[in-house]
Structure 1
Amino acid sequence: MGSKIRVGLVYGGKSGEHEVSLQTAYAVMGEFDYSKYEIKPFYITKQGEWKTGAALDGRPANIEELRIDASESKQTGFALAPLFAGVNADSSTDHEEPRIDVVFPLLHGTFGEDGTIQGLFEMANIPYVGAGVLASAVGMDKILMKKVFAQEGLQQCLFRYFNRTQWERDASFFIMECEVALGYPCFIKPANLGSSVGVSKAKNREELVAAVNYAFRFDRKVIVEEFVDGREIEVSVLGNDDVKASLPGEIAPSNEFYDYKAKYIDGKSTMQIPAILSPEITESVREMAIRAFQAIDGSGLSRVDFFLRKHDSQLFINEVNTLPGFTPNSMYPLMWKETGVPYKELLNTLISLALARHAEKQRIDYIGDSAG
């Protein structure tokens, strides 16, 4: 490693959350200490093509500059070469790029936080910020996540799930099951998507059927959850094996629920940090957040979301987000700021955690004693 740590920022992506990723990348680029880090941008188009530009000495003038323009047909291979420099024995390429020291993925949704790109980084044997393959995959799949939470004994709301084939074969059965077990209103979500994309609230059978069909646009599996009349509480988690939880925050959504519009478009949702909670509930929600993070084998960072039911103050875990929004105005860094960890220190810590996790994994013997 040279005098500066060479950080590859990966953003964009073949995902419905492409634009959200650009917002995150643009914000993060403005917060790095450029005397300590050299920042190399890696842009993934909506079609999945990789593009890379010159190292940055500061944030670009506007967000559109993040859509790196490169028309060479070999661009994806060219862009990936610095990431795979550590495993590429062929040094006869027509360009020489210094190896990236650590990757900071700023991707949301499919192919970004579902374990797929984390697998690419694992194959490249390169350190990267955030959860590994398993934790990313489980954190993305709401059905598997809830099964893990149940095994851990974490209280959660009732839910039902099915895939497209099951729904097409016997929709009437699943409608009846949802109505009997969950009742109305209920929430319908694609199993594998973030930022509340594809999420609907149904108040009757007609809305339920329409919402399920809408959710199937985005995934082959759908989850239906009971409605909890509660406050939306969130906690930021930071660490690898030694894990810390921030003070909790609270979201007051501008819409009927915290959907994509409320998160990213109308700007009217409000945040209360720290959330106004009793000391006992504050301690409980932080402890549950750490348990959830460890249950999925998390590393680096996660934001853990809860419902606090209004009539009896019962806590229900909702989900773990392994790549939460990361602009300076996002809940994850704001909760840490209130807890005493400012944004730049948070960036430094996440990179240190990525390097430490990678170093620890190098102790694993993948070959064994076989003579083959």
Structure 2
Amino acid sequence: MPKQTVALFFGGKSAEHEISIISARSIAAQIDRNRYELSPLYIDRDGKWHGLACSQTVLDTDIAALLRSGSPEAAGQRIDELTAAAAGERFDFGDFLEKTDVAFIALHGSHGEDGKIQGCLDTFGIPYTGCGLTASALAMDKALTKLCAVDAGVAVAESMTVLSRDYAKRPLETVVEVTRRFAWPLFVKPASLGSSVGISKVRSVEELSVALETACELDGKVLVEASISGREIEVAVLGNGDALVSAPGEIIPGSDFYSYEDKYIKNEAKLVIPADLPEGVANEVRNAALTIFKALGCAGMSRVDFFVENGTNRVILNEINTIPGFTDISMYPMMMAASGISFPELIEKLLLLALEKRPITPKI
């Protein structure tokens, strides 16, 4: 049986560019090369698609080591050097369409996790891993996710949506409104970014203004959210119609909250799988994850993050990630492994699920 060609999308125009490269590197190391021909496809920060030579060179670079050294700037500079060296290489879109059997999307954040690349692949009839256009767009927007969750009966934290253009016009009025509605501490986060990029824990008016400025520079919509005193619990969901929900895992942050630095640079957070939860609470978390997965129309995979409130054990949705991290410290593959699905098996299942929901539109 001939090998199927898998186009591995990574990089992208988002603040999670480096994390995407690390995820893709892990996926490339685990995919079954006896069954699949891997064709890496690197997208740079400007959105340019690069050919095989450049893509493979970027994929082979240990960006994780540069991040762990505490130098995200060095990681970015190295990636730019690799891209510049391959400036003359041409990406052949016709060849891509002809040869690609299925796409594995390892793009995190905007222009990858938000439905844009999914819509593109739908147009050309190429099946791909993960959620479709609509579910991706809904899940990417934390404010819209909350609306869907409430409608489905899943609890969420109290929040307020701020449009960046409105904040730019009326910063003082926005700060006053936030302080009127929320108690300290609170969280300010971009509505459509992941990996904890741009999130701030705020304890004063002075910190609030800085946090709003930071988040508004990163996104056109910002979420102000009440702080929940509780444990950070996550579950992995895998499947199309009949989805498997993993045992819950717990993140114990090394700082005030599970920040970008905590995840990828300091690496001080503790990950506990399975989480030590009463059976009834664990089942409630798993049921809530499946409820929001179905409510958004998700398919393939998602990681769903919750808080279990101290004192009450109330299960409160934090967010859902439709293209979770696939690094060696990422919760999604670790929770699946704890549920009996190894990393190579997980890659295989995701590709089969992608082919199962193959689009009707033929390749152009």
Q: Give the TM-score taking structure 1 as reference length.
A: 0.88
Is the 1:131–1:322 Cα contact (8 Å) retained in structure 2?
yes
1:162-311 maps to which residues of 2 (within 5 A)?
Answer: 162-311=162-311
Asked if residue 46 in structure 1 is aligned to residue 62 in structure 2, the reply is no
Match of 2:33 in 1: 34
Change (3 A) 1:52 1:127: same
* 2:88 corresponds to 1:72: yes
The 1-side partners of 2:10 and 2:292 are apart by 27
Unaligned runs of 5+ in 1: 86-98, 366-372
Q: How far apart are the structure 2 equivalents of 1:127 and 1:54?
A: 24
Q: Distance in 1 between matches of 2:100 and 2:145?
A: 32
| 1:333 paired residue number | 333
Deviations 1:101-123 (A, max 9, x none): 10001111111101111111111
Alignment RMSD: 2.3
Cα deviation for residue 168 of structure 1 reads 3.1
Q: Is the 8 A contact 1:328 1:343 kept in 2?
A: no
Deviation, structure 1 residue 70? 2.8
Q: Secondary structure at the match of 1:268?
A: coil
Structure 2 distance, partners of 1:123, 1:133, is: 11
Whole-angstrom distance in 2 between the partners of 1:329 and 1:269: 10
Give the aligned partner of residue 81 of structure 1.
94
Shift in Å at residue 311 of structure 1? 1.7
Change (3 A) 1:3 1:190: same
Counterpart code for 2:145: M
Distance in structure 2 (CA, Å) of the matches to 1:60 and 1:211: 34
Alpha-carbon distance change, 332 to 353 in structure 1, aligned in 2, over 3 angstroms: same
- C-alpha contact (below 8 Å) 1:83/1:126 kept by paired residues: no
**Does the CA-based 8 Å contact 2:186-2:201 persist in structure 1?**
yes
Provide the C-alpha distance between the structure 2 equivalents of 1:45 and 1:170, rounded to a whole number of angstroms. 35
Determine helix, strand or coil for the equivalent of 1:354: helix
Deviates more, 1:174-183 or 1:64-73: 64-73
Q: Secondary structure at the match of 2:30?
A: coil
Shift of 1:165: 2.6
What is residue 114 of structure 1 aligned with on the other side? Answer: 114
| Alpha-carbon contact 1:141-1:192 (below 8 Å) kept | yes
Give the Å deviation of 1:327.
2.2
Measured against aligned partners, the alpha-carbon deviations of 1:58-108 in whole angstroms (never above 9, x if no partner) come to: x975437995653237x24x1x323433xxxxxxxxxxxxx1110001111
Greater shift, 178-187 or 114-123, is seen at 178-187
The answer on whether the counterparts of 2:190 and 2:219 sit within 8 Å (CA) in structure 1 is yes
Pick which of 139-148 and 230-239 moved more. 139-148
Q: 1:299 to 1:173 in 2, by over 3 A?
A: same
SS at match of 1:154: coil
Shift of 1:32: 1.2
CA contact (8 A) 2:3 2:35 kept: yes
2: CA distance, partners of 1:28 / 1:221: 32
- CA 1:123–1:256 in structure 2 vs 1: closer, same or farther (change >3 Å)? same
Q: Cα distance, 1:55 vs. partner?
A: 12
Cα pair 2:16 2:109 within 8 Å, conserved: yes
Provide the C-alpha distance between the structure 2 equivalents of 1:321 and 1:344, rounded to a whole number of angstroms: 21
Q: Report the Cα distance in structure 2 between the residues aligned to 1:167 and 1:21, rounded to whole angstroms.
A: 31
Query: Does structure 2 retain, via aligned residues, the 8 Å contact 1:308–1:315?
Result: yes
CA distance in 2, matches of 1:238, 1:144: 22
| Separation of aligned partners in 2, 1:39 and 1:332 | 22
The 2-side partners of 1:146 and 1:84 are apart by: 37
Letter in 1 for 2:88: E
Equivalent position SS for 1:30: helix
Give per-residue Cα distances to partners, 1:179-211, cap 9 Å, x unaligned: 232211100011111111111011011111111
Aligned pair count reads 345
One-letter code of the match for 2:345?
Answer: E
Alignment CA distance shift 1:56-1:21 (3 Å) = closer
- CA–CA separation in structure 2 for the residues paired with 1:83 and 1:319: 34
The CA distance in 2 between the partners of 1:46 and 1:20, in whole Å, is: 13
Task: Specify which structure has the bigger relative contact order, considering alpha-carbon pairs within 8 angstroms and separated by 6 or more residues.
Answer: 2
Shifted more, 186-195 versus 176-185: the winner is 176-185
> Aligned partners of 2:293 and 2:8: how far apart in 1?
24
Q: Percent identity?
A: 38
Question: Hey, what does 1:12 align to over in structure 2?
Answer: 11
Work out the CA distance in 1 between the residues paired with 2:136 and 2:55.
Answer: 28
Do the aligned partners of 2:247 and 2:274 also contact (CA within 8 Å) in 1?
yes
When Rg is computed on C-alpha atoms for both structures, the one with the higher figure is 1
For 1:83 and 1:126, the matched residues in 2 are separated by 10
2:144 is aligned to 144
* Structure 2: tracts of 5 or more residues without a match: 64-77
* C-alpha distance in structure 1 between counterparts of 2:44 and 2:135, whole Å: 25
Residue identity opposite 1:102 in structure 2: V
Return the letter of the residue paired with 2:144.
L
Q: Which residue of 2 aligns with 1:96?
A: none
Task: Measure how far apart 1:54 and its partner are.
Answer: 5.9
Could you tell me how far 1:151 is from its partner in structure 2?
1.1
Q: What letter matches 2:288 in structure 1?
A: M
CA contact (8 A) 1:38 1:55 kept: no
The answer to whether the 8 A contact 1:40-1:55 is kept is no
